[in-house]
Amino acid sequence: MTPPTAHARGWLTAFLGIARRETLRFVNQRGRFLAALVRPLVWLFIFAAGFRAVLGLSITPPYQTYVLYEVYVTPGLVAMIQLFNGMQSSLSMVYDRETGAMRTLLVSPFPRWFLLGSKLIAGVIVSIIQVFTFLAIAYWWGIRPPVWGYVAVIPALILSGLMLGAMGLFLSSAIRQLENFAGVMNFVIFPMFFASSALYPLWRMRESSPLLYDICRFNPFTHAVELIRFALYLRVEWTSLAVVLGCLAGFFGAAVFMYDPQKGLWARRKGGPA
């Protein structure tokens, strides 16, 4: 019997199967799609309208003129969609582990880095569908970046989605039970989102608290936001690109380590392995 890992078609089939399953689950959970859209739209339609009056924005790269707060906040909300999607993937990994579905994945003849990577990429595909639905609504609301920006932002979305998904994957390896996930919301998602450049430019943060400014600068989510923001306006933010790539490698490496039966958490876990 030739193992499926012996030919490229086997690897492609496995990847497509994992991607198909993630998409099917997403389609079957319509509430998840709506929630993923409603969250950033509430920010765009309600919060942004309110903040526009109190948050004046000077010219901030990549913008070449004064911009409305809604325009500024849109890339941050795009990254927010990806952040929540990454965490949703992480939640589904914990759920899979609790229900036992994870074992089906892990006893496959393909190596774990490939299985986890495929799950990660599938999650990013789902997040990009959500992002473009949001951008279409934002366009109708008057937020209109350059047309080619919609193309240029795709690689940035892939990288930021991978980084945030890998972070979720790593977190999922450390969370033992679904109930513990509330802690992730409080200790990871909210601090990452609010201590970033998603909602306000960092120079404003520096004016009020230099310490908080430094925290925001080192927050990987800030760099995901800036990578998306610059790409949407046809520019590359090289520092953010480097940080996102570095964090992607770090989080994914840590997740593979933690899911490895020989090294990580699984090796130390007593009781049900999956």
Partner 1 sequence: MTAPALQIDNVSHSFGAVQALKDVSLTVPQGGFTALLGVNGAGKTTLFSLITRLYSNRSGTIRVGGHDLRCEPSRALARLGVVFQSRAMDADLTIRQNLIYHASLHGIPGRLARPRIDTVLAQVDLADRADARVTALSGGQSRRAEIARALIHRPDLLLLDEATVGLDVKSRAEVLALTRRLITRDGVSALWATHIMDEIDPADDLVILHRGEVLRHGPARDIAGAQGLTRAFLDLTGVAP
Q: Which residues are near partner 1 by CB under 8 A?
A: 1, 3-7, 9-11, 13-14, 16-18, 20-21, 24-25, 28-29, 96, 99-101, 103-111, 115, 260-262, 266-267, 270, 272-274
CB of 265 to partner 1, least distance (A): 12
Range 60-69 contact pairs with CB under 8 angstroms and sequence separation of 24 or more: 60/201, 60/203, 61/230, 61/235, 62/229, 62/230, 62/233, 62/235, 62/237, 63/233
CB of 22 to partner 1, least distance (A): 10
Closer to partner 1 at the Cβ: 25 or 235? 25
112 touches 5 (CB < 8 A):
no
- Angle, helices 112-140/30-42, rounded to nearest 10 degrees: 50
Closer to partner 1 at the Cβ: 46 or 178? 178
Q: Cα-Cα-Cα-Cα dihedral of 12, 162, 128, 115, to 10°? A: 30
Query: 195 by DSSP, 3-state: which?
Result: coil
Closer to partner 1 at the Cβ: 21 or 206? 21
CB of 268 to partner 1, least distance (A): 8
Nearest CA among 265, 257, 263, 274 for reference residue 103:
274
CB of 25 to partner 1, least distance (A): 5
Closer to partner 1 at the Cβ: 104 or 209? 104
Closer to partner 1 at the Cβ: 37 or 106? 106
Closer to partner 1 at the Cβ: 6 or 154? 6
For 5, residues 6+ apart whose C-beta sits below 8 A from its C-beta are 11, 109, 110, 111
135 touches 89 (CB < 8 A):
no
CB of 271 to partner 1, least distance (A): 8
- Taking residue 57's Cβ as centre, other Cβ atoms within 10 Å add up to 17
CB of 50 to partner 1, least distance (A): 38
